[in-house]
Amino acid sequence: MNTYLDYKEHCKKIYDIYMSASVLNWDQETHMPKNGNKFRAQQLSTLAKIAYELSTDIKFGKLLEKLNSDDSLNFDQKRNIELSYNDFKKKLKYSTKFVERQSLLTSRAFQDWRIAKENNDFNIFKNSLSDLIDLRKEECELIGYKNHPYDVLLDKYEPKLMTSEVDIIFNDVKDKLVPFIDKISKNNIIDDKFFYQFFDKKKQWDFGIELLKQMGYDFDSGRQDISAHPFSTHFSPQDCRVTTRIDENNLSDMIWSCIHEGGHALYEQGLLKENYGLPLGDSISLGIHESQSRLWENHVGRSIHYWKKNYGLLKSYFPEKLKNVDYKQFYNACNNVKSSLIRTNADELTYHLHVMIRYEIEKAIIEESLNVDDLPSTWNRLYKEYLNIDVPSDSQGVLQDIHWSHGSFGYFPTYTLGSFYAAQFFDKASKDITDIDSKIENGETKTLLDWLRKNIHKNGKRYDASELCKKVTGETLNFKYFMDYAKNKYTKIYDL
């Protein structure tokens, strides 16, 4: 190996293995029979080991070192090498045994979490979770950190983000968003009971497919399935899949999971296929990824313009259930701000309190000021403190999210980060696109998708998240855009 072409081919080989493992993970969460877990864990562990060995191959490292000082490469080529070389050096800090152990632990933990949730018993999951936490603490020490061990975990999902920066973000939430939520709660007279009738599963599914198509989701390069926890995944820009959850007694579950996961998938479908396997063919960060799902879910999907177009379509599926509800009532109900138990069902404002709770718990666990045995009681206490909600069960409380069963500590803050990026991006798109509201009202979202493809999707990892935000909007992330958006929208809804 001694050329840039050799580098590309080696990267594609590694990526092929990771994507093959992703197919197995997708199957594990959608179609795999219960008894398949043992061998699936073994299969995933084997693939993880092979990918790690290829990623840390000495010849590959020497090639990266050589190309890293090659001035003949263009900007994109240099960026690919820079990111790959940084990743190579970081991976060398791990061992093959660590990678294998991680794969086995996460496969076991996922099954334990699923059984624990079904049986409403945190103790079933406790030991696996404790092992994963120990693994993450070990990882923090392996990688090393200057300020806080949690920085290492954040960096996996939002490169260069510091714990101190997340603290500032949630201080803004506490100081500015929480008082606004309190103000809304005193004026909340919205009736959303019509959401909680019986809505046929097949009809919900068909309506969700219509919404995905309208967004521009390419079903020739993707598909939708059912899962316990909605998610999106990808194996290439031409195979980006989504899942949804359908509750026949709660229409909102399906609607928001379809639009949200569809936003993620549109990002993946917008990456340039010629960069497959290279850093520039991958998304920047989970914060930017979440900005795409939140932009579609909230700024488009919860807007009055969107439902002027789509409420008639929804009503054609459920004419009897919605016969006494007009589109304005439906729009208001879509934006009902109220405390709730489940993060994924939360409105776009209180949602950030759910994320803040998880962040505080994760940070405390990594700091070792909280142990696993006390996790359920701490969870319940924080839900009472921040959302004034009594948690009735483990399944609806500490077991509600899948993330910890994957070992994904450091992930949750990117949800809030993504919402704030989304507000800033949508503000800029609204200035660049003539009559964007009218276009959405007419079901014409292609112009918005084209804007996102041009400004965000096609770049891959060409820029860091903060740098991209500045290039697109003229400034780095600014909480003001989200707060202005929230005040403008909800002041009208609640006549504040």
Cβ pair 406, 193 in contact under 8 A:
no
Check the CA dihedral 135-139-141-145 and report its sign: negative
**Tokens representing 57?**
């191959």
| CA angle at 56 for the pair 55 and 60, rounded to the nearest 5° | 80
Taking CB atoms within 8 Å and a gap of at least 24, the contacts of 115-119 are 116/394, 116/399, 117/228, 117/394, 117/395, 117/399, 117/400, 118/395
| Active site residues per annotation | 261
Residue 325 parent element (H or E) = none
- Rounded CA-CA distance 291/423 in Å is 8
Dist. CA 287–CA 418, nearest whole Å: 4
CA distance 287 to 465: 8
Q: What is the DSSP string of 400-441?
A: S-SGGGGT-TT-THHHHHHHHHHHHHHHHHHHHSTTHHHHHH
Cβ count near 305 (within 10 Å): 17
Q: For tokens 């900005």, what's the residue?
A: 291
Residue 202's Cβ-count burial label (10 Å; 0-12, 13-18, 19+) is: exposed
User: 424-431 long-range CB contacts below 8 Å, 24 or more apart?
Assistant: 424/469, 424/473, 424/477, 424/478, 424/481, 424/482, 425/291, 425/295, 425/452, 425/455, 425/456, 425/469, 425/472, 425/473, 426/295, 426/299, 426/485, 427/473, 427/481, 427/484, 427/485, 428/472, 428/473, 428/474
Which phi and psi angles does 225 have, rounded to 5°?
Answer: -135, 175
Is residue 264 within 8 A of residue 289, CB to CB? The reply is yes
Nearest to 386 by CA among 209, 170, 70: 170
Cβ–Cβ under 8 Å, residues 257 and 212:
no
368: left (phi over 0), alpha (psi -120 to 50) or beta: left
Q: Determine the Cα angle at 81 with ends 75 and 87, to 5°.
A: 135
Q: Is 420 exposed, middle or buried (0-12, 13-18, 19+ CB in 10 A)?
A: buried
The tokens of 291 are what? Answer: 């900005």
292: tokens are 């795409």
